Structure 1
Amino acid sequence: MGDKTDIDTTAMSSNVMLVKVPKYVSKLWERVGPGGSVGKLRVSSKLKKRDFTFILKQELLKQSSEGELKLPSEYKLHSQGAGNRVAEAFSETASQDQDGSGNGSSSTNQTGKLALEGQIAERVECRPVGGDSYMKMKRLQIKNALQPTRTTQPIDKTITFKPRTNKNVNEVIIKPKSAEGKKARLDKDKVLDMLFKAFEKHQYYSFKDLVQITQQPSPYLKEILKEIGKYNTKAPHKFMWELKPEYRHYQEDQPS
């Protein structure tokens, strides 16, 4: 079958009702296992018009996580019409490979077994019946919404540390940049003299070390180095400066 998915269309001609419920009701329904009961639907006729009342199961109300708040148990279903668009309702049953319980199809489909339950013939909104429980719930919801997300709390523990300033850290970061900006350009001959003396001690130097030795601005020092020096781009002295052959007082080691 490849990526194709089989859909059970046995009930495609059935009419189903799409119900919109409050968020706290849907959370309670999620606690009920497959095939479980969430409540009862009471149907009555008034002037040839059907009236639907949903009664939430008492066991679910006891499992509510709303604290001491008592949730409404009765809800009216208000029809919103079928709408202009054609819509279908689908269901999905976990495959045996997904939940490992052996329930559902043994197909290798990762999405489980899909079924078309029918066409949506009516859209309904589930609204709680007004009463003391409903009014208390709404007052609590409004109160919680007005609570600030950040609150000031008193400290009941002894503070064992002192506040630290970042002044020293700023000095470490800022001073080197400020110092380099204040470096005065010496006469070129004096800079050359310092460079030659340095290269008498060592053959290779990094540019950072030469800046530290001469205390000259980087652009000015690099300009002088290009005249007398050679910048290595290959190992073993990569990114290091050395004197050009005509300025050396030593001979290069010849490979044996």
Structure 2
Amino acid sequence: MSTQNLHADRDLDLSNATRGVWLVKVPKYIANRWEKAPGTIEVGKLKITKNQGQKAQVSLSLSESVLCLKEPGEENIPKDHRLDVSMVTKQTLGVFSHYSREY
């Protein structure tokens, strides 16, 4: 792909603009394992429990495949994690991706 093609003007696809998106901050040790994971494996599962009149409870259970992606001497990490849900109000957040190719 030439450099010129990388910077060509394109239409922005907004067909999914109304779909909700979650921004999740995870501990560095989880992010490090996710970075090591090949794109074809399941990294974990979210479980959302909502009781009437209460805030949703969200838990993350990491897959065995991710738990096994450790370097020699690296400590084991917990399989199950509780995520705190916060409301982001009166803010506009945007998510963009940029293709960068190293030469």
Cα distance change on mapping 1:16 and 1:22 into 2, 3 Å:
same
Scaled by the length of structure 2, what TM-score is found?
A: 0.72
Alignment partner for residue 73 of structure 1, among 75, 79, 84? 79
Cα distance change on mapping 1:45 and 1:3 into 2, 3 Å:
closer
**3-state SS of paired residue (1:79):** coil
Contact kept, 8 Å, 1:55 with 1:74, in 2: the verdict is: yes
Contact kept, 8 Å, 1:16 with 1:89, in 2: the verdict is: no
Q: How many residues in Structure 1 have an aligned counterpart in Structure 2? A: 96
* Alignment RMSD (CA, Å): 2.9
Q: Pick the structure with greater CA Rg.
A: 1
Q: CA deviation at 1:65?
A: 2.6
The structure whose residues are more often strand, as a share, is 1
Cα distance change on mapping 1:3 and 1:45 into 2, 3 Å:
closer
Residue 26 of structure 1 corresponds to 31
Deviates more, 1:52-61 or 1:2-11: 2-11
Unaligned 5+ residue runs, structure 1? 100-256
| Whole-angstrom CA distance in 2 between matches of 1:91 and 1:36 | 21
Unaligned 5+ residue runs, structure 2? 1-6
The structure whose residues are more often helix, as a share, is 1
Residue 36 of structure 1 corresponds to 41
Q: CA deviation at 1:3?
A: 4.9
Scaled by the length of structure 1, what TM-score is found?
A: 0.33
| Identical-residue share of aligned pairs (%) | 26
- Structure of higher RCO (CA pairs closer than 8 Å, 6+ residues apart): 2
Residue 4 of structure 2 corresponds to none
